[in-house]
Amino acid sequence: MIDLRSDTVTRPTPAMLKAMTEAEVGDDVFAEDPTVNAFEEKIANLFGMEAGLFVPSGTMGNQLCLHVLTTPGDEVILDETGHIFNYESGAAAHLSSLQLHPLKGKRGKISPELIEPAIRPKNEWDPHTRVIALENTTNKGGGAFYAKKELAEIRTLADKHGLDVHLDGARIWNALTVSGIGPEFFGTIADTLSVCFSKGLGAPVGSMILGNRDHVKRARRIRKMWGGGMRQIGLLAAAADYAVEHHWPLLKEDHRRARAFAEAVAAHPAFHVDSAAVETNIVLFDVVQGTVEKAIQNFAGAGVGMVPFGAKTIRATFHFQIDDEALEKVLQVVEDFPI
């Protein structure tokens, strides 16, 4: 199957596996894994942050960051399509006693005009607005990314109201690729940042949270409490490091292929998509003839996997294990899709 269901479906390459087997390891709960320690320092430096902590998943990364930034009863402002709001099993309520305040942004992005009226007055009876959580690129928003100016304006607003900014950068590598923003800029706009190595970068496991030394020290204890203390994970850090070095440069090809796919979909009468809005590796398109279920079945029957992403919407996601040959086959399947 040509698997466009997600960019998480990639398999480790032989070269990545080799890097893993060659990694020097130690017990990371004792902070004695040299590969992990070096990798945490490297990624923290890359993003201009004081410290980093390797964690098993993007979900744990987001939740640790929210936990260290808040106290129970606080409120987090985010877009209504945000991963934290939709796909983390209600963890913010369960693990940190937080209330999420979703806003209707555009393609998963929120702006100061939307955020400022949502900041609560400081009354005893109001929830306490504490964090603005952004996602970059957006998943359910179809891979949209924030421009530098938009991020800077949100930072200014957060400072004006004494709020922290958390950025879910599961696909920040795609955002960096397309926006031309340097990674160190994110250290100036986010208090905490969580980045994934297991999405388009293609590592089998792993995310990292970044913040100041105090955030990371406290997150390290909570990671242990939540059962995320890991031992000889230099193996995984080596895979993630390999992915940053060798797969990050490939993301621009994923973006090109996603755009070509979107153009083919736009040309078919059964579907609707604004192909110009496809900026990174995610394509959301609507089914205008028939149902999403039937369309997904048809694509699967033709050997192409996709996922439903709403009542009328399908998501196709590109990754480095979809090459140009696979793309050509997918384009043909779209062209031949029964009307």
Ligand X SMILES: Cc1ncc(COP(=O)(O)O)c(C=O)c1O
| Residue 166 in contact with ligand X, rule: CB under 6 A | no
Residue 87 or residue 159: which is nearer to ligand X going by CB? 87
User: 27 CB contacts (<8 Å, ≥6 apart)?
Assistant: 33, 231, 232
| 147 Cβ contact list (under 8 Å, min separation 6) | 179
Question: Contact 279/136 with Cβ under 8 angstroms?
Answer: no
Residue in 28, 33, 40, 168 binding ligand X, rule: CB under 6 A: 168
Among 196, 201, 236, 264, binds ligand X (CB under 6 A): 196
Identify which of residues 56 and 183 has a Cβ nearer to ligand X in the complex: 56
Question: Any contact of residue 57 with ligand X (CB under 6 A)?
Answer: yes
Please, which of residues 115-154 interact with ligand X by CB under 6 A? 135, 139
CA dist 58 and 141 (Å) reads 17
CB of 57 to ligand X, least distance (A): 3
Nearest to 59 by CA among 42, 83, 79: 83
83 vs 215 by CB, closer to ligand X: 83
What is the DSSP track for 205-254? S-EEEEE-HHHHHHHHHHHHHTT---SSTHHHHHHHHHHHHHTGGGHHHH
Minimum CB distance to ligand X smaller for 199 or for 215? 199
* Rounded-to-integer distance, Cα 237 and Cα 207, Å: 9
Under the binding rule (CB under 6 A), the answer on residue 59 touching ligand X is yes
Kindly state the smallest distance separating residue 109's Cβ from ligand X, in Å. 12
Does position 58 bind ligand X by CB under 6 A?
yes
Q: Residue 296: count other Cβ atoms within 10 Å of its Cβ.
A: 18
| Shortest CB 138 distance to ligand X, Å | 7
**Distance in Å, CB of 198 to ligand X, minimum:** 6
Residue (57 or 232) nearer to ligand X, CB: 57
SS3 217: helix
Q: Which stretch binds ligand X (CB under 6 A): 14-22, 53-61, 223-231, 279-287?
A: 53-61
What number of residues does the chain have?
339
Q: Rule CB under 6 A: which residues touch ligand X?
A: 57-59, 62, 83, 135, 139, 168, 170, 196, 198, 207
